Amino acid sequence: MGELTLGVFSSLVGSMSLDFSFKIAEAAIAKGHKVNMWLSGNAVMMAKKGQKAFKDYSHNEKLMKELMGKGMEITVCEACAEARGYHKEDVPEGMKRASMDWYLAKTVKTDKLLHIGGE
Amino acid sequence: MGAVNLLFVVQRPPYKSENPRLALTHAIASQTAEIYMDDGDSVVPIIVFVGDGVLNAVKDQQAMKVYGVTSTESHIKSCLMIDLPVWVCKEDMERLGLKEDNMITNAEDMGADLKTKFVSFAEIQKEMDAVKHLLFF
């Protein structure tokens, strides 16, 4: 099985790209692939735990936790998070924070890179 | 694995989208990516500005004065300083009435030897075919 890396830059609210990224990840994991996800730019909204699951808004925390439980590695851009006031103590359990070089390093070994740009 | 070529393609104008800044900072981060990689592996980025994205490469930006933030000009010059190739699409410059005189052509003030390359879209497409990964911003 292969390794897929998703670089996601879209926000949780305002576009469906982040939602689709998790759907793609879910499908890839179901097929037995290893999936890494880099969250940068407005996608770092996922790095704030305790978000309420209103039915009017996308809410991916449940799916994200399930996928991390199945071995998906999720790392969030530390600088982008800090710029938005999301600190280390806000990060959901299992999610890592790193600088942008983490994402670039993943491009070396991954079989496929899917870069999903921001707004 | 060795060296992996990456092409960062920037198509958004500066400031009101975060994309160009993220493209530049991610490309520059290639300099420190080795800490996460095996010995002998590396990433080799090129950053190219196309469409309205060529506006990022206009010189004499006053972002600090106007917005209180660093300019994409300073980031582009940082790329040149670390020998990271910066390409700008000639056809899109022409479309926006921009000449090379209007653009960031070098970072000599920062001690860089590398200069901005003004290229045709055909050359950009050739590079898109050649690299392992494309990153659109």
Domain layout of chain A by residue ranges:
3-49+61-116
A15 pLDDT more than 90: no
Q: What are phi and psi of A49, to 5 degrees?
A: -75, 165
| pLDDT attached to residue B29 | 97
| pLDDT attached to residue A55 | 87
**Amino acid code (one letter) for A104:** L
**Chain A residue closest in CA terms to B13:** A119
**CB of B26 within 8 Å of any CB in chain A?**
yes
What ranges make up the beta strands (E) of chain A?
A: 3-8, 34-39, 73-77, 96-98, 112-116
Q: Which domains does chain B have, with CATH numbers?
A: 8-26+48-136 (3.40.1260.10)
Q: Is this complex scored with an ipTM above 0.90? A: no
Chain A, chain B: beta-carbon pairs less than 8 Å apart: 74
Selected from 3.40.190.170, 3.40.1260.10, 3.30.300.30, 3.90.650.10, the CATH number assigned to the domain covering A3-49+61-116 reads 3.40.1260.10
Q: How far apart are CA B88 and CA B123, in angstroms?
A: 11
| pLDDT attached to residue B99 | 98
**CB of B37 within 8 Å of any CB in chain A?**
yes
pTM of the model: 0.92
Q: Which of B55, B50, B59, B71 is nearest to B115 (CA)?
A: B59
**Chain B residue closest in CA terms to A101:** B33
Q: How far apart are CA A22 and CA A20, in angstroms?
A: 5
The per-residue pLDDT for range A30-85, each reduced to its tens digit, is: 999 999 999 999 999 999 999 999 988 888 999 999 999 999 999 999 999 999 99
Q: What is the mean pLDDT of residues B18-43?
A: 95
Helix H or strand E encompassing A101 = helix A101-109
CA distances from B78 to A81, B41, B82 (A): 23, 23, 6
**Chain A residue closest in CA terms to B136:** A117
